[in-house]
Structure 1
Amino acid sequence: MRKFIASALLMSFVACSAAPALAREENPFITSREINLIELLAPPPANESEKTRFELAEVIAVQSTRTPEMVARAQADSAENIWRFADVMGVKFKPEQLPLFTKFFQRVVDSEGAVVDTYKDVWKRPRPYLYSEMVKPVVKLSHSGSYPSGHATAGTLMGIVLSNMVPEKRAEIMARAAEYANNRVVGGVHYRSDIEAGRITGTVIAARLQTRDDFNQAFEAAKSELRGVLELGPEPVASK
């Protein structure tokens, strides 16, 4: 087992949060300037803690039982976009039919990175495969910190926003979002606490976005387009 010493200082947060968004975050609705994860989340478990050893054992246990189908699913879920929900939404759920929806959800996904990436650099938690050579990841490796999980954040965020558009499918959408997040453990690139922190973060981002006029205007346009393409009719009153 390789040992790492956590080197991030909380003072670096000020400089990080003031920095411009990363290049891939072209047009986020919200950034780390507006959501302080240090105030929201507990720090990740220490590298040599009992909690990390327990979580590492889970990653290795999942690794020993994952099937080829699980591997394929985890690899496909490495893509960080709304189209991973297509198996829930049906055959009409395609980007070429949903231009407004596509543009809207790209901004939603960009918001995840614009919030989370700053704090990954603060905490710098080593990923499981860096901490132990016993971990054999089966998805694309990342050089960013492990905590919180960006995929779990994005999956939860996308799931909440999408289920608010299509409340008829809320249970299925949120189950898919949970699977999407868990596949980061299956893939060997995250610990359970990374996933849990990502779910909290995704939920908070979703709540904060709903207070913004620019988000709500784009949301309504995207929802109308989506429900029209899916032929769902008016939104059920009971979902309000």
Structure 2
Amino acid sequence: MTRKALLVATLGGALLMGCSPVQDLWSKASPPKTAPYAVSPSTASWTTPPAGYLKTGMNLDGALIVGPPPTPDSPRGKADQATFDATRKLVGTPAWDKAIADADLSGKHGFKSFSCAAGVTIGPEATPTLANLLLRMTDDAATLYQPAKAVFQRPRPPVGNTKPICVPREKWIETDGSYPSGHGLIGWSWALVISEVAPEHASAVLARGRAFGDSRVICGVHYQSDIEAGRYLGSAMVSRLHQDPAFLADLDKAKAEVAASRTNGAPKDCPAS
């Protein structure tokens, strides 16, 4: 699938109505465990990503691209709230554990899950250029989603309640806007790039990118519409990166790394498909 086709598929299908994969999960979930629920490590343990490619900015207006979030009393806003409430049932399930792993943007867990989807080991040892490229993209992403968050200032789902979430209740929960989702942006943009260097596994990689964003709904720190807006911005960012010579040079190197890494076989300890 070409990059243009991927962008069209993303932008055309992101807001289709009906049951989402997240809704399918919580509709089948078991009741929460009575034991204390697990959460991800504090954000203080996260590492700062290397500087992004687009140091002078992307010349993209994230707020204009995604438009405002749904209002709380709109049908979409009510659906967002209902999904947050219902997905609290996922505490203690495998989906909750996956959401904890997906909360980490430092690369360790994300690289493992995308490696399994791509059928090739991705990481600083096997594919150093690709790993660094993906981390640099997280820095670029912030220059796109953070200004949009500041414009809309949508409160996150756990604000004003004590329902379980998969991350510690730190100050950023109250101060960092919910819309659009940075994780939704990053997960989808990573998937677009990895599907380009491992095109024979594009469908599985893109599904992993979708699930990476959906984990934030399961985690309880984003609404579903936050994630979908993030995917719009992820597509826009990858399109802009493909106009940057340094990114394109690293992308070519990454393709060669992936080809070489593939000779070592598929990643170990991947879940059964």
Question: TM-score scaled by structure 2?
Answer: 0.70
What amino acid is the match of 1:79?
A: D
Match of 1:6 in 2: none
Q: CA RMSD in A?
A: 2.3
Higher mean alpha-carbon deviation, 65-74 vs 115-124, is at: 65-74
Higher mean alpha-carbon deviation, 83-92 vs 208-217, is at: 83-92
1:136 aligns with 2:164: yes
Cα separation, partners in 2 of 1:79 and 1:165, compared to 1, 3 Å: same
How far off its partner does 1:65 sit?
A: 4.4
Find the partner of 2:127 among 64, 73, 98: 98
Higher mean alpha-carbon deviation, 55-64 vs 70-79, is at: 55-64
Equivalent residues of 1:60, 1:134 under 8 A apart: no
Higher mean alpha-carbon deviation, 25-34 vs 100-109, is at: 25-34
Aligned equivalents of 1:116, 1:147: Cα separation in 2: 8
How far off its partner does 1:50 sit?
A: 4.5
Match of 2:53 in 1: 29
How far off its partner does 1:140 sit?
A: 4.1
| Deviation by residue 1:129-162 (Cα, 9 ceiling, x = unmatched) | 00x4163212345431101000010000000000
Match of 2:71 in 1: 46
Equivalent residues of 1:28, 1:114 under 8 A apart: no
Aligned equivalents of 2:75, 2:145: Cα separation in 1: 26
Equivalent residues of 1:128, 1:135 under 8 A apart: no
How far off its partner does 1:93 sit?
A: 3.2
Question: TM-score scaled by structure 1?
Answer: 0.79
Higher mean alpha-carbon deviation, 141-150 vs 41-50, is at: 41-50
Aligned equivalents of 2:87, 2:121: Cα separation in 1: 34
- The count of residues paired between Structure 1 and Structure 2 equals 209
Equivalent residues of 1:149, 1:198 under 8 A apart: yes
What amino acid is the match of 2:196?
A: N
Match of 1:59 in 2: 84
Equivalent residues of 2:118, 2:194 under 8 A apart: no
| Deviation by residue 1:82-116 (Cα, 9 ceiling, x = unmatched) | 51412223473332222222222221222111211
How far off its partner does 1:33 sit?
A: 4.9
Tell me, what secondary structure is at the counterpart of 1:189? coil
Find the partner of 2:144 among 91, 115, 140: 115
1:1-240, aligned counterparts within 5 Å? 24=48, 26-30=50-54, 33-65=58-90, 67-80=92-105, 81=107, 82-83=110-111, 84-90=113-119, 92-130=121-159, 132-133=160-161, 135-141=163-169, 142-143=172-173, 144-231=176-263
Equivalent residues of 1:77, 1:183 under 8 A apart: yes
Higher mean alpha-carbon deviation, 32-41 vs 114-123, is at: 32-41
Equivalent residues of 1:74, 1:139 under 8 A apart: no
| Deviation by residue 1:154-199 (Cα, 9 ceiling, x = unmatched) | 0000000000011000000001111111011001011011011011
Higher mean alpha-carbon deviation, 148-157 vs 206-215, is at: 206-215
Unaligned runs of 5+ in 2: 1-46, 265-273
How far off its partner does 1:200 sit?
A: 0.7
Aligned equivalents of 1:73, 1:92: Cα separation in 2: 19
Match of 1:5 in 2: none
What amino acid is the match of 1:95?
A: P
Aligned equivalents of 2:195, 2:120: Cα separation in 1: 17
